[in-house]
């Protein structure tokens, strides 16, 4: 049993490394791939919003399937293999943007539950064996870092390799997932009542609202992060190197993240990470050259605390039968906000700023400061209630 546990721990580490390696390929370089296919900024903005609107509609469906399924692993496999097959449809030169955007929607319909299933399966296994989540997520950061370096170098030479590179990575990921521990689902009743109870628990609604504002800011700015980087003189290869160094700074943060969450409240942790994010957006707005981006390496890793807080806290407060649903709430709230931000960014970049991306980061910074102010008001109210 002990050896089996060790093997399972090792599989989880390799799994998260590979999953985030693949996620970096899609999240970071798909915008460049669309630009190379001739899509306008407005169409890229619509495609980016589709990538977040579709999960808003689809995730509740996938969550219900997971709540009813005896094991989530089969659904995890479907959310890996189906997007890989659909990605092959990006290979032909689709001259009609509507067809391309429809393919994007189909891709994200099947891909969207993967992160939710991954976190639910991993956290159920780790909590049952008293193991921390931070170190598993650390391997995900390592995978993202390596992917940023390797993928940036490869796609800088030939962006047409984007689809084959992604499909090959997805098949490798599924091969690893065949060995992921199978967690049996325990069915219960009165889920609607318990969902309301979950939403009323202290800290849940403030965290969801803060997550929504943060996602709106990220959707507004990050959609054109790479084009802005290239507009300031960078290229895909140097951007991959930038991602590599940036993600390396997440490793020590993730290693100690479980201790941080035990020491500080979720709201205080989000306020700290949100302040860093707001200053980061403001810095990107101000810098005149891509080389200044490398100074972000000093603080970028601290932003990962936001993800860890949301995943771990929502899993802790949710009853056993609502673990997946709790993760779904985070996906929906952040998805709605990110979709709005991505859609607005495309139109703003085209019609308001005329291809000039830097003002998007100023707007994102102001939104992030608004999120910090909201959390400060919540903490202030909590202190006043305690005193009274």
Residue 146 lies in a domain: yes
Sequence-distant (≥ 6) Cβ neighbours of residue 139 within 8 angstroms: 12, 13, 14, 16, 17, 20
Per-residue pLDDT at 278: 94
- For the chain, percent of residues with pLDDT exceeding 70: 91
Over the stretch 205-215, which tens digit does the pLDDT of each residue have? 888 888 889 98
Residue 115: CATH number of its domain: 1.20.1250.20
| Average pLDDT score over residue span 254-274 | 83
Q: Are 290 and 233 in contact (CB under 8 A)?
A: yes
Among 33-42, 241-250, 284-293, top mean pLDDT goes to 284-293
Residue 136 lies in a domain: yes
Over the stretch 283-302, which tens digit does the pLDDT of each residue have? 999 998 989 988 888 888 78
Residue 267 lies in a domain: yes
How many CB atoms are closer than 10 A to CB 140? 26
Q: Are 145 and 244 in contact (CB under 8 A)?
A: yes
CA dist 268 and 376 (Å) reads 9
CA dist 332 and 350 (Å) reads 27
Range of the domain at 50: 2-180+190-387
pTM of the model as a whole: 0.68
Per-residue pLDDT at 22: 92
Per-residue pLDDT at 130: 79
Q: Biggest alpha carbon distance in the chain?
A: 66
| Average pLDDT score over residue span 137-144 | 85
Residue 185 lies in a domain: no
Q: Are 323 and 124 in contact (CB under 8 A)?
A: yes
How many CB atoms are closer than 10 A to CB 94? 17
pLDDT at 4 > cutoff 50? no
SS3 at position 100: helix
Among 132-141, 155-164, 220-229, 282-291, top mean pLDDT goes to 282-291
Residue 9 lies in a domain: yes
pLDDT at 144 > cutoff 60? yes
Q: Are 121 and 72 in contact (CB under 8 A)?
A: yes
Domain count, the chain: 1
Q: Are 324 and 116 in contact (CB under 8 A)?
A: yes
CA 269 vs CA 132, 263, 331, 372: distances in Å: 18, 10, 20, 11
Among 40-44, 63-67, 342-346, 372-376, top mean pLDDT goes to 372-376
Residue 127 lies in a domain: yes
CA dist 83 and 71 (Å) reads 20
């Amino acid at each position: 049993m002990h050896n089996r546990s060790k093997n399972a721990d090792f599989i989880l580490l390799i799994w998260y490394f590979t999953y985030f390696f693949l996620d970096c390929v899609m999240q970071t370089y798909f915008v460049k791939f669309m630009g190379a296919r001739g899509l306008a900024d407005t169409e890229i903005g619509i495609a980016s919003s589709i990538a977040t609107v579709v999960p808003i509609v689809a995730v509740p469906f996938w969550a219900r399937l997971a709540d009813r399924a005896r094991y989530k692993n089969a659904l995890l496999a479907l959310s890996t293999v189906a997007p890989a097959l659909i990605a092959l449809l990006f290979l032909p030169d689709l001259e009609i943007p509507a067809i391309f955007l429809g393919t994007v929607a189909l891709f994200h319909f099947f891909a969207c539950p993967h992160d939710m299933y991954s976190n639910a399966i991993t956290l159920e296994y780790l909590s049952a064996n008293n193991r921390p989540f931070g170190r598993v997520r650390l391997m995900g950061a390592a995978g993202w870092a390596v992917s940023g370096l390797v993928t940036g170098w490869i796609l800088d030479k030939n962006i047409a390799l984007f689809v084959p590179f992604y499909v090959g990575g997805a098949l490798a990921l599924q091969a690893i997932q065949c060995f992921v521990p199978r967690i049996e689902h325990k069915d219960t009743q009165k889920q609607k009542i318990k969902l309301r109870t979950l939403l009323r628990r202290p800290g849940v609604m403030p965290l969801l609202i803060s997550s929504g504002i943060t996602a709106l800011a990220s959707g507004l700015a990050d959609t054109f992060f790479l084009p802005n980087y290239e507009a300031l003189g960078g290229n895909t290869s140097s951007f991959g190197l930038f991602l590599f160094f940036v993600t390396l700074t997440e490793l020590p943060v993730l290693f100690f993240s479980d201790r941080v969450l035990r020491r500080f409240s979720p709201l205080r942790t989000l306020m700290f990470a949100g302040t860093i994010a707001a200053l980061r957006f403001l810095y990107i707005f101000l810098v005149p050259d891509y080389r200044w981006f490398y100074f972000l390496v000093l603080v970028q890793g601290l932003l990962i605390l936001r993800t860890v807080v949301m995943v771990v806290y929502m899993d802790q407060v949710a009853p056993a039968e609502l673990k997946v649903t709790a993760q779904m709430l985070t996906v929906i709230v952040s998805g709605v906000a990110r979709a709005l931000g991505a859609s607005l960014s495309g139109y703003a970049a085209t019609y308001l700023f005329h291809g000039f991306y830097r003002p998007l980061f100023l707007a994102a910074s102001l939104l992030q400061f608004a999120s910090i102010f909201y959390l400060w008001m919540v903490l202030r109210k909590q202190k006043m209630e305690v005193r009274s």
